[in-house]
Amino acid sequence: MMPAITRKQLRVAIADSDNEVGSTPEVATPVQTLVTTRKTRHKTGIANLLSAMERARLDDIFEQSFKAVKACIDKEYECHQCDLSLDLPSHRDYPDYYTTIRHLIVMKTIWCNVKAGKYASLGDFHCDWKLMFDNARAYNEEGSTVYKDACEIQWTLEETMSQLTGEDYTMPIGTQSLLPASLSTALASPQQ
């Protein structure tokens, strides 16, 4: 395990890299950001240490990604597919949602994080979206409208991010099992 880096050490490292002649800022790839946990990135405040050019580039990609998601229209119902992902469901109407889903996140939360400058990389941004889509698929039955919309919106978001950055952000779309693998396999196999 790598030792924790203090804010001061991070600032010095960034200042040193900014002083190098001909150096260009790099944006972390999805693979690099997978090692960063949500708690670590918020505690260290790494997002606050980005240069103005990096922040502007990220903000532009974040906003264009949101526009692409909001543009998703369900042709059958002629409404925005993302409407159900804007706010958390009602505690009164869906009390089991709050016991089933451990890490609650919706589009409004992601948008607030964008506006507050909390994302240090595209990978962090993508991970929160992926969590939201996984939550929708975990709670809703496969084949339901919400489940299908989550898959379609995820595809749209990842295609948009891939086109804007030139990197591959597509991830396998699938279910998130609520049961341990051994138990779900036992339940799926026929009883003899």
pLDDT in tens, 110-160: 999 999 989 989 999 999 999 999 999 999 999 988 898 889 899 999 999
Domain 28-174 superfamily per CATH:
Bromodomain-like (1.20.920.10)
Q: What is the pLDDT of residue 99?
A: 92
Tell whether the model's pLDDT for residue 73 goes beyond 80.
no
The span from the CA of 41 to the CA of 122, in Å, is 13
Lowest mean pLDDT segment, chosen from 73-77, 88-92, 119-123, 184-188:
184-188
Q: How confident is the model at residue 63 (pLDDT cuts 50, 70, 90)?
A: very high
* Residue ranges of domains in the chain: 28-174
pTM for this predicted structure: 0.64
Q: How confident is the model at residue 180 (pLDDT cuts 50, 70, 90)?
A: very low
For residue 69, what are the contacts with CB-CB under 8 A and spacing of at least 6? 82, 107, 153, 156, 157, 160
C-beta atoms surrounding 86 within 10 Å: 13
Q: What is the pLDDT of residue 172?
A: 73
b/e sequence 13-39, b meaning 16+ C-beta within 10 Å: eeeeeeeeeeeeeebbebeebeebeee
Q: How confident is the model at residue 96 (pLDDT cuts 50, 70, 90)?
A: very high
The span from the CA of 20 to the CA of 22, in Å, is 6
Average of pLDDT values for 55-67?
93
Average of pLDDT values for 19-43?
44
Q: What is the pLDDT of residue 111?
A: 92
For the chain, give the mean pLDDT. Answer: 73
Q: What is the pLDDT of residue 169?
A: 84
Percent of the chain residues topping a pLDDT of 70: 58
Tell whether the model's pLDDT for residue 3 goes beyond 80.
no
Tell whether the model's pLDDT for residue 182 goes beyond 50.
no
